[in-house]
Structure 1
Amino acid sequence: MTHTETGHAPMGRRERKKAATRQAIADAALHLFLERGYDDVGIREIADAADVSTTTLFKHFPVKEALVFDEDADHRARLLAAVRERPEGQSIPAALREHALRHRMASPDDDTRFAAFFKLVNSTPALRDYQQGMWLRHADALTTVIAEESGLPPDDPACVALAHFALEAPRAARGHDDPRQVVTRAFDLLECGWPPLPASG
Structure 2
Amino acid sequence: MPSTRPDPAADPSSAPMGRRERKKAATRQAIADAALRLFLERGYEAVGIREIADAADVSTTTLFKHFPAKEALVFDEDAEQEARLLAAVRERSEGQSIPAALCEHALTTRLAATGGDARFAAFTELVTGTPALRDYGQKMWLRHASALAEAIAEESGLAADDPACTALAHFALEAPRVAAAHDDPREAVVRAFGLLEHGWSAIREEA
TM-score, normalising length: structure 2: 0.68
Question: What residue in structure 2 maps to residue 21 of structure 1?
Answer: 27
Q: Pairwise mapping of residues 122-201 of structure 1 onto structure 2 (< 5 A)?
A: 122-124=124-126, 125=128, 126=130, 127=133, 130-173=136-179, 175-192=181-198
Q: Which runs of 5+ in 1 are unaligned?
A: 1-11, 194-201
Structure 2 CA distance, aligned partners of 1:184 and 1:129? 29
- Does residue 42 in structure 1 map to residue 44 in structure 2? no
Local SS of the residue matching 2:85? helix
Alignment length (residue pairs): 177
Q: Which runs of 5+ in 2 are unaligned?
A: 1-17, 200-207
Question: What residue in structure 2 maps to residue 75 of structure 1?
Answer: 81
The superposition leaves residues 137-189 of structure 1 with CA deviations (integer Å, 9 ceiling, x where unpaired) of 12222222211221222222211211121122233235433333333222121
Query: Whose Rg is larger?
Result: 1
- The aligned amino acid for 1:161 is A
Structure 2 CA distance, aligned partners of 1:33 and 1:182? 31
Asked if the contact 2:38–2:47 (Cα under 8 Å) also holds between the matched residues in 1, the reply is no
Percent sequence identity is 72
Local SS of the residue matching 1:45? helix
Report the aligned-residue RMSD. Answer: 3.1
Alpha-carbon distance change, 29 to 95 in structure 1, aligned in 2, over 3 angstroms: same
Asked if the contact 1:26–1:70 (Cα under 8 Å) also holds between the matched residues in 2, the reply is yes
- Does residue 66 in structure 1 map to residue 72 in structure 2? yes
- The aligned amino acid for 1:118 is F
Structure 2 CA distance, aligned partners of 1:107 and 1:79? 14
Deviation at 1:81, TM superposition (A): 0.8
Structure 2 CA distance, aligned partners of 1:174 and 1:161? 20
The superposition leaves residues 108-138 of structure 1 with CA deviations (integer Å, 9 ceiling, x where unpaired) of 9x7x8xx244212322213565444323212
Structure 2 CA distance, aligned partners of 1:183 and 1:132? 21
